[in-house]
């Protein structure tokens, strides 16, 4: 049981529409948006829920000293970087980049249809890591009605039992899971002492521990053990 739980409805998130092809929901301060009460959650620095229209996207831009990963919800996301990596990923895939000492990359939607993905930035355990890249594509059955472990980090093992599905390694004591649940399906987990969790509803709805429903848009629960 978590000692602290906060429900953050989707209506409380900042909606950014900086250009014709992009609509984002910011969970924390980002770009021109600054909210002093929403700057980070532990080492979780950025969580953006992005909708990118077809034949558009984020052109080449640099990053440094950040653990960046994107989870594709719908459509296809094409990644290219200065390390020589180039690939297109579909629904259920995770794409990871440890920016370290510096990397330049682009994220484009080369298809005609909308691309929906969630991008997260984690503060690394130290500065100056060598840049690296990784990705993994998962089948729907891998995450159906169970927590699928898609990213793991340094330090302690996950505080709850998960299905391990990815060898991608974050440079931080962080674990990332996804689950695609049927109606009325339940997942149980417990946070260890000093651990915390940030739970995002991407599609559908979710009932909290108190039994009150979250909304159907992307809302979150912030929990601390």
pLDDT tier, 160 (very low <50, low <70, confident <90, very high otherwise): very low
pLDDT value at 165 more than 60: no
Q: Which helix (H) or strand (E) covers residue 29, if one does?
A: none
DSSP code, position 82: T
- b/e 126-152 (16+ beta carbons within 10 angstroms → b): eeeeebbbbbbebeeebbeebbbbbbb
First to last CA, the chain: 7
What pLDDT sits at residue 145? 93
What pLDDT sits at residue 161? 43
Numbers of helices and strands, H then E, in the chain: 1, 18
C-alpha to C-alpha distance for 147 and 196, rounded to whole angstroms: 16
Render pLDDT for 67-121 as a digit per residue (tens, 0 to 9).
999 999 999 999 999 999 999 999 999 999 999 999 999 999 999 999 999 999 9
What average pLDDT does range 108-136 have in this prediction? 96
* Residue 140, strand partner residues: none
pTM exceeding 0.85: yes
Q: Which two tokens stand for residue 168?
A: 């991608």
C-alpha to C-alpha distance for 137 and 72, rounded to whole angstroms: 10
Beta strand pairing call for 169-170 and 148-153: parallel
Is residue 53 within 8 Å of residue 74, measured between CB atoms? no
Q: 160 burial class (0-12, 13-18, 19+ CB within 10 angstroms)?
A: middle
Closest CA to 171 of 100, 102, 70: 100
pLDDT value at 222 more than 90: no
Mean pLDDT (the chain, rounded): 88
| 107 labelled ligand-binding | yes
| 23 labelled ligand-binding | no
pLDDT tier, 5 (very low <50, low <70, confident <90, very high otherwise): confident
Cα R_g (the chain), whole angstroms: 17
pLDDT value at 223 more than 90: no
C-alpha to C-alpha distance for 94 and 179, rounded to whole angstroms: 13
pLDDT tier, 164 (very low <50, low <70, confident <90, very high otherwise): very low
Least confident piece of the model among 25-29, 61-65, 176-180, 184-188: 184-188
Q: Which two tokens stand for residue 196?
A: 């915390």
| 169 labelled ligand-binding | no
Least confident piece of the model among 74-78, 128-132, 183-187: 183-187
Highest mean pLDDT: which range of 77-91, 143-157, 174-188 = 77-91
Domains of the chain in start order, with CATH, are 4-224 (2.60.120.10)
């Amino acid at each position: 049981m978590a000692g602290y739980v906060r429900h953050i409805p989707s209506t409380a998130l900042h909606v950014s529409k900086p250009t014709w092809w992009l609509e984002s929901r910011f969970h924390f301060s980002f770009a021109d948006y600054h909210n002093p009460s929403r700057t980070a959650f532990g080492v979780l620095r950025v969580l953006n829920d992005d909708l990118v229209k077809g034949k558009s996207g984020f052109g080449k831009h640099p990053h440094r000293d950040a653990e960046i990963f994107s989870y594709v919800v719908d459509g296809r996301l094409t990644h290219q970087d200065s390390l020589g990596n180039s690939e297109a990923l579909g629904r259920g895939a995770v794409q990871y980049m440890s920016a370290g000492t510096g990397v330049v990359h682009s994220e484009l939607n080369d298809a005609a249809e909308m691309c929906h993905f969630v991008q997260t930035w984690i503060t690394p355990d130290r500065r100056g890591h060598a840049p690296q890249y990784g990705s993994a594509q998962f089948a729907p059955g891998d995450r159906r009605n169970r927590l699928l472990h898609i990213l793991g980090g340094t330090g302690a093992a996950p505080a709850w039992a998960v299905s391990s599905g990815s060898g991608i390694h974050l440079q931080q004591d962080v674990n990332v899971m996804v689950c695609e649940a049927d109606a009325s399906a339940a997942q149980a987990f417990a946070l260890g002492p000093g651990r915390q969790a940030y739970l995002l509803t991407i599609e559908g709805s979710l009932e909290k521990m108190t039994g009150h429903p979250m909304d159907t848009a992307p809302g979150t629960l912030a929990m601390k053990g």
